[in-house]
Structure 1
């Protein structure tokens, strides 16, 4: 089977980009371990909304029951005193609602962001752990920048989903429901007038949601391209400068960067159109309420306090709707990121091999290739019906032109890839039957392209493997004659190596690679 399984994974993701209920349930499964915290958060939201919605009602009671009495010269002094006392009590209650709303809001925000960060850490760790388990075939055909985007940008976008969207939706729905109940309890006709405006808002929001979804998927795709170009160009900066390709590379990056700018401009344009439409509906609603409510007040049907409360409530009624509208941006972006993350998590992990254990004494070293066929890409055969054998203790060199398959043979021997046809035997056993971890631990490989990590010389040789001691590292360095230059370093084995070993020569990097293999 050719190794093209993961090609154009971003394109496959785009074709199946609409998240389904299964994807959403999978996302929220990360939040279920913290259900107690979310219950507490929702209770605090209910308290916050409850005391906040009580404030216009308290104002209405002060106007109708107290201020109207204080402004009426025909009332007695005793009635004025009672009205002042009642107004003071209601004012103190109003102040208490402000304090309670502040405390509950602070507690809710603190718990929410703390819980959201814990969920985000778990998602990011699960994604990274899964990437570590993917086969080499995947990394051959999948851009590094796209992986970086998923682990960083996409997971961070999900943070908004847990820390903003859920609470906004819950708070907005509770607020809308509470306002509707209170308005109908005060005056049914005015409340019905306010509710008539709702269908217009729903229609505008539905159209906006459909349009903005496409923009978000395109943005994520282009952002992955930007990260890919950054990763490739920074890693190959020496090549770019040697061949003086700065201008060409800059132009290529600018092309992708401009595409992202165009998509962001479209997003701003759609959003800038959507919000004013809602504002127009709200303004018309307030104007109509003032006209209708004003006539009812002049006719003595409702009090001025009720009219004031309704104007306050209709503004509060539109506020959660506007908040829900703003969350559409976050929801669409989060849904895009959710699908991209789980699409990556669903990629098949590397086969862990068979159940045959490598003997404690190690492999004897007899290797046989029997009629092996292999291709990285379909019908582009690198090895065609290759057969050979090597006895234990033999030194064998593979000589051939570039691309003849010399490195491929080592890759197949370590099972970085699986062959398409034929069989590879080690000590008479098919390598697919060996436990993969034990097989790779039994094969020493010095990579053609040496990769060094940021860290000390000691860490780069031992790779923090628990079975490799300090003594093993020093002995391995002496065997390959790497200790000669290591001892000349200012901190010797504790000397820090920059990313990819840029502070060392090619020969020094190669010696560390030899020592790394021997130390294992």
Structure 2
């Protein structure tokens, strides 16, 4: 059995949720969403959102441990490298100095001679570096040191590469699971949530924002980890070499943190606004191009362009502010780093001249100072990307945190022998708390009975059948199916017994055969063809070049509106549901096809309960029971002949459709 598609259209007049016009405006009452000129949603604090996003990495503990271990080893080898190269510099410098001294003397004698000549600094340099007078550069020792440095850097690169490979897999699996969670969440959300959300806005959260999270995690986590480890390792080496120079380098840290915090605090709300306006712009573009024929027919191109330009300008302002403000971090950090570098170079040079440090130590320290400021600068540069990712995460978390539909019963009821008896018992429902629509309604549809529901627009006809499908929950009363309260059934079980044909047809991208078999994928070819013949789909499909293999998109642009509706009727015919709902199912077909379809649907409705919503009374003359609804109440019920004989609202509606005269004063004027 098939589970019917959720109605695509808003319910006309029944406390509808807003619909966005192609021009960007809105119609209807009820909940609203940000439009042009409205403020963007408020940002959550950066810290909790970032922690929640990183918390999604917990299931990958083992790869995460491997990533950290590889990063520690790789960064550790990189940190040792400058110290080894500093030793190579000392070997070269000692060789140059030794060649200038008189051979045959000892280091202590050369130092004593320098002090006797009043050159104490040179004597300290000779002593500290262990210069051997008369010898040049020790090529063998230098070669061993350089090979060691090469091996360290090669090993470090391999370890960092392996760490990146593990991290990529971990991040992509995390994002994969996030997409699955969002998809599962969407299936658990009630229909009113989708009524309140513009389709383009929701699509942007599910696609653009999750892609942005993936990019942000991939590019920032690796640099954050290696950057922090580099800072710690380099800092340790700097204190080992020279605590004085290390303290000079540390002065830049609190200044850098303060600058980064102040800039990030101002840029984060703008990143949230950027992605909010991006989603709203996507929504406008999606609806404008989906309804481009309507836009042109009503001459609304200029209004659409104006609305687009306004929202595009808002996106430009938010994006410019976010990128410009966050972009200040990089030059600010470079400026602070250069100040630190100059201070270290000056003080280090003085200490070499005084003989308290070797040239190789100063060289290594300068490299460490660069390694120390570089990750800080990179981390600052990553802040704009990180903030953008966290802003997207907030929007995705808003979907994951949305209130879900009422949970399924712990011990669901089962229908062992479904007959199709539907009973409304004192049912009350309203879309918004302050505007009642249906109040204390009771009715019973017996098995095999065809119940037609008629009335003016906004009377509550479509709402009535939506309540049977549990697209919305009741405010009071209950609905039973074969004596079982439908809230005691699993939604899939309930909807799997109901077939629905909507006024607004909905087809999925695929072949005509696949669309007919959508509600019953295991149907045989013979059953599909039988359903197509019974609903007159076969008649036009045979004329198509590819027949039942003709591929149609979700809009069904390569077939007519009437042909699309025939396919949806064939889909319901094939599913063989025990309860059938037809919502203006023949509104898009011609008169001759409608007559043929009436016969097909009569066969379809046989031996099953059917609810038929109709505006054209000619389609429901043979209904077993006709309900006349006005303002959510059943004002009349009976057969066609009985209601005509009663000369009430139904008779007035009938005369307004089948006579040329105007309704009398005693007759209600049908709503347009």
Query: What TM-score do the two structures reach when normalised by structure 1?
Result: 0.92
Question: Which consecutive residues of structure 2, in runs of 5 or more, have no partner in the other structure?
Answer: 1-14, 18-29, 105-131, 576-672
Please list the CA deviations of residues 296-346 of structure 1 after superposition, one character each: whole Å capped at 9, or x if unmatched. Answer: 222222222222222221111100101111222232222222232222112
Aligned 8 A contact 2:264 2:383 in 1: yes
Matching residue of 2:83: 57
Matching residue of 2:379: 324
Question: Which consecutive residues of structure 1, in runs of 5 or more, have no partner in the other structure?
Answer: none
Residues 51 and 18 of structure 1, relative CA distance in 2, 3 Å threshold: same
Confirm or deny that 1:39 pairs with 2:39.
no
In the TM superposition, what is the alpha-carbon distance from 1:35 to its structure 2 partner?
2.2
In the TM superposition, what is the alpha-carbon distance from 1:182 to its structure 2 partner?
0.8
Aligned 8 A contact 2:200 2:282 in 1: yes
Aligned 8 A contact 1:197 1:281 in 2: yes
Matching residue of 2:447: 392
Paired with 1:464 and 1:87, the residues of 2 have a C-alpha distance of: 77
Confirm or deny that 1:17 pairs with 2:44.
yes
Q: Secondary structure at the match of 2:151?
A: helix
Residues 290 and 179 of structure 1, relative CA distance in 2, 3 Å threshold: same
In the TM superposition, what is the alpha-carbon distance from 1:12 to its structure 2 partner?
12
Matching residue of 1:199: 254
Paired with 1:3 and 1:172, the residues of 2 have a C-alpha distance of: 53
Picking from 182, 188, 198, the partner of 1:127 is 182
Q: Mean Cα displacement is larger for which, 70-79 or 450-459?
A: 70-79
Matching residue of 1:491: 546
Aligned 8 A contact 1:456 1:493 in 2: yes
Paired with 2:291 and 2:561, the residues of 1 have a C-alpha distance of: 15
Matching residue of 2:56: 30
Residues 171 and 195 of structure 1, relative CA distance in 2, 3 Å threshold: same
Matching residue of 1:410: 465
Aligned 8 A contact 1:369 1:386 in 2: yes
Paired with 1:134 and 1:153, the residues of 2 have a C-alpha distance of: 20
Matching residue of 2:366: 311
Aligned 8 A contact 1:64 1:304 in 2: yes
Confirm or deny that 1:278 pairs with 2:304.
no
In the TM superposition, what is the alpha-carbon distance from 1:360 to its structure 2 partner?
4.3
Aligned 8 A contact 1:67 1:83 in 2: no
Residues 280 and 306 of structure 1, relative CA distance in 2, 3 Å threshold: same
As a proportion of its length, which structure holds more helix? 1
In the TM superposition, what is the alpha-carbon distance from 1:498 to its structure 2 partner?
2.0
Matching residue of 2:660: none
Matching residue of 1:454: 509
Paired with 1:275 and 1:143, the residues of 2 have a C-alpha distance of: 37
Paired with 1:281 and 1:20, the residues of 2 have a C-alpha distance of: 25
Aligned 8 A contact 1:373 1:420 in 2: yes
Paired with 2:542 and 2:479, the residues of 1 have a C-alpha distance of: 42
Matching residue of 2:292: 237
Aligned 8 A contact 1:19 1:339 in 2: no
Confirm or deny that 1:188 pairs with 2:188.
no
Q: Secondary structure at the match of 1:384?
A: strand
In the TM superposition, what is the alpha-carbon distance from 1:86 to its structure 2 partner?
1.0
Paired with 1:319 and 1:20, the residues of 2 have a C-alpha distance of: 24
Q: Secondary structure at the match of 2:343?
A: helix
In the TM superposition, what is the alpha-carbon distance from 1:358 to its structure 2 partner?
4.7
Aligned 8 A contact 2:414 2:489 in 1: yes
Paired with 1:420 and 1:320, the residues of 2 have a C-alpha distance of: 59
Q: Secondary structure at the match of 1:368?
A: strand
Please list the CA deviations of residues 12-71 of structure 1 after superposition, one character each: whole Å capped at 9, or x if unmatched. Answer: 9945722665x6565345323322222222222222212222222122111112343145
Residues 148 and 479 of structure 1, relative CA distance in 2, 3 Å threshold: same
Q: Which has the larger radius of gyration?
A: 2
Q: Secondary structure at the match of 2:498?
A: coil
Picking from 446, 471, 486, the partner of 2:526 is 471
In the TM superposition, what is the alpha-carbon distance from 1:126 to its structure 2 partner?
1.4
Aligned 8 A contact 1:44 1:108 in 2: yes
Query: What TM-score do the two structures reach when normalised by structure 2?
Result: 0.72
In the TM superposition, what is the alpha-carbon distance from 1:8 to its structure 2 partner?
5.8
Please list the CA deviations of residues 390-438 of structure 1 after superposition, one character each: whole Å capped at 9, or x if unmatched. Answer: 2222222222111222211111111111222333233333322233212
Structure 1 segment 42-191 matched on structure 2, within 5 A: 42-70=68-96, 72-74=98-100, 80=135, 83-191=138-246
RMSD of equivalent CA atoms: 2.6
The count of corresponding residues between Structure 1 and Structure 2 is 516
Aligned 8 A contact 2:70 2:162 in 1: yes
In the TM superposition, what is the alpha-carbon distance from 1:371 to its structure 2 partner?
3.3
Q: Secondary structure at the match of 1:380?
A: coil
Paired with 1:257 and 1:104, the residues of 2 have a C-alpha distance of: 45
Please list the CA deviations of residues 245-296 of structure 1 after superposition, one character each: whole Å capped at 9, or x if unmatched. Answer: 2221122112111111111111232133322222221111111122212222
In the TM superposition, what is the alpha-carbon distance from 1:7 to its structure 2 partner?
4.4
Paired with 2:514 and 2:294, the residues of 1 have a C-alpha distance of: 28
